[in-house]
Amino acid sequence: MGLGGNNENYKFSNIPYWGWNIMKILVTGGAGFIGFHVVKALLERGDEVVVVDDMNSYYNPQLKIDRLKQFEDKISFYRVSIWDFVELRKVFEKHQFDKVCHLAAQPGVRYSLENPFAYQRSNSLGMLNILELMREFNVKDLVFASSSSVYGGNTKVPFNVDDSVDKPISIYAATKKSNELYAHVYHHLYGFNCMGLRFFTVYGPWGRPDMALALFTKAIINDEPIKVYNYGKMQRDFTYVIDIVTGVLSALDKVNGYNILNLGNSKPVELIYFIQCLEKALGKEAQKEMVGMQQGDVHITYADIEKTKQVLGWEPQTSIEEGLVKYIQWYKEYYKIN
Ligand X SMILES: NC(=O)c1ccc[n+]([C@@H]2O[C@H](COP(=O)([O-])OP(=O)(O)OC[C@H]3O[C@@H](n4cnc5c(N)ncnc54)[C@H](O)[C@@H]3O)[C@@H](O)[C@H]2O)c1
> Which uninterrupted H or E stretch holds 287?
strand 287-290
How many angstroms separate the first and last alpha carbons of the chain?
17
Query: Which region, judged by CB under 6 A, interacts with ligand X, from 7-15, 80-88, 264-272, 276-284?
Result: 80-88
The answer to whether the beta carbons of residues 303 and 159 sit under 8 Å apart is yes
Question: Which of residues 220 and 263 has its CB atom nearest to ligand X in the complex?
Answer: 263
Using DSSP's 3-state secondary structure scheme, residue 239 falls into strand
Question: Which of residues 110 and 284 has its CB atom nearest to ligand X in the complex?
Answer: 110
Q: Is 170 in the site for ligand X (CB under 6 A)?
A: no
Is 172 part of the annotated catalytic residue set? yes
The minimum distance between CB 105 and ligand X, in angstroms, equals: 3
The minimum distance between CB 147 and ligand X, in angstroms, equals: 4
Q: Is 29 in the site for ligand X (CB under 6 A)?
A: yes
DSSP string, 147-180: EGGGGTT--SSSB-TTS-----SSHHHHHHHHHH
Contact pick of 41, 50, 64, 286 for ligand X (by CB under 6 A): 64
Catalytic residue among 78, 119, 151, 172: 172
Question: Which of residues 122 and 308 has its CB atom nearest to ligand X in the complex?
Answer: 122
Contact pick of 26, 27, 31, 165 for ligand X (by CB under 6 A): 31
The minimum distance between CB 84 and ligand X, in angstroms, equals: 8
Q: Is 302 in the site for ligand X (CB under 6 A)?
A: no
| Interacting positions 107-166 with ligand X (CB under 6 A) | 107, 122, 126, 145, 147
The minimum distance between CB 69 and ligand X, in angstroms, equals: 14
CA distance 282 to 227: 18
Contact pick of 68, 105, 161, 214 for ligand X (by CB under 6 A): 105
- In the chain, alpha helices (H): 33-44, 61-69, 85-94, 111-114, 116-119, 126-136, 171-190, 212-221, 241-254, 271-282, 306-312, 320-334
Q: Strand 99-102 to strand 141-147: parallel, antiparallel, or no bridges (unpaired)?
A: parallel
Residue 128 contacts by C-beta under 8 Å, 6 or more apart in sequence?
Answer: 182
Calculated CA dihedral for residues 167, 170, 176, 182, nearest 10 degrees: 60
b/e per residue, 173-194, with b = 16+ CB within 10 A? bbbbbbbbebbeebbeeeebbb
The minimum distance between CB 205 and ligand X, in angstroms, equals: 12
Size of the site for ligand X (CB under 6 A): 28
Question: Which of residues 201 and 266 has its CB atom nearest to ligand X in the complex?
Answer: 201
Q: Where does this chain bind ligand X (CB under 6 A)? A: 29, 31-35, 52-56, 64, 81-83, 103-107, 122, 126, 145, 147, 199, 201-202, 208
Residues catalogued as catalytic: 172
